[in-house]
Amino acid sequence: MERDESLGDFSGRLLFEHGSWDWLADKSVRANDGKNESKVIKLTESEPRKASVLAGGSKRKNFSQMIMDRGGLEYGNLVHQCFESIKWWEGELHWSGDEKISALVLECIENPKVKPFFEPREGLKVYREQPIESILDGVWVSGVIDRLLVGFDEDGKALNAAIMDFKTDKVDGPSELVERYGEQLSRYKRMICKTYSLTDENVYSVILSTHLRKTINL
């Protein structure tokens, strides 16, 4: 039945109603005898947000140098894209980018010390431009591994791993790259050890310098 209704400062025409506003009137109120008190949930103590860093934080120190050296970031990104296009080396490069960069990458891969990182083997899996995050010494560390190889046994357990990091810096010798990026590769190594439950001896890390056309073991 339609009627006019008022609710506080509001009024209007009631067009439809179902049930009664007095539906609680016949409900008894249960006395609190203390037996059904809710248990207090004790929350764990909060921790401050952990500081975070990039695994390759040292790159910031060399930003201006990278810009001056052969196109800097743009050049480095193209080299990484070319390497990323290679899952396993089958004698042909499937990348339609800059021909000079293609030639550079081909020259690097043909190096006898580099080629094994691009050759398939039983139980070996490859991860390209692999993001990784972990907590090291109470600090949240994140980064991207250029090329990660992990060897597994028949049961899927990781046996060993190899980390390859591509560097395009124009340097005079390997020691410069070790000084700049040694800490970055060390962090990657620790993160992979934690991820796959490997010992330090079973994780191998190497820098591939496209400028020097050689690998640098760390």
Least confident piece of the model among 47-56, 58-67, 175-184: 58-67
Residue 30 counted as domain residue: no
Residue 181 counted as domain residue: yes
pLDDT score, position 54:
78
Judge contact between 113 and 101, C-beta under 8 A.
no
Least confident piece of the model among 55-59, 110-114, 163-167, 209-213: 55-59
pLDDT at 71 over 90: no
Residue 76 counted as domain residue: yes
Percentage above 90 pLDDT, the chain: 59
Residue 152 counted as domain residue: yes
Residue 67 counted as domain residue: yes
Tell me which residue range forms the domain holding 149.
52-217
Residue 126 counted as domain residue: yes
Rounded Cα distance between 114 and 76, Å, is: 18
Counted domains in the chain: 1
Query: Could you report the per-residue pLDDT of 135-147, keeping only the tens digit for each?
Result: 999 889 999 999 9
Give me the residue label for tokens 């290679």. Answer: 86
pLDDT score, position 61:
47
Rounded Cα distance between 107 and 104, Å, is: 5
Least confident piece of the model among 26-30, 54-58, 118-122: 54-58
Least confident piece of the model among 24-28, 153-157, 209-213: 24-28
Rounded Cα distance between 24 and 166, Å, is: 73
Residue 27 counted as domain residue: no
In which band, very low, low, confident or very high, does the pLDDT at 55 lie, cut at 50, 70 and 90? confident
Give me the residue label for tokens 């089958």. Answer: 90
Kind and range of the H or E run holding 16: none
Rounded Cα distance between 29 and 154, Å, is: 66
- Residue scoring higher pLDDT (24 or 68): 24
Judge contact between 164 and 146, C-beta under 8 A.
yes
Rounded Cα distance between 133 and 144, Å, is: 9
3 state DSSP class of 152: strand
pLDDT score, position 9:
67
Percentage above 70 pLDDT, the chain: 79
Partner residues linked to 4 by β-bridges: 13
Residue 203 counted as domain residue: yes
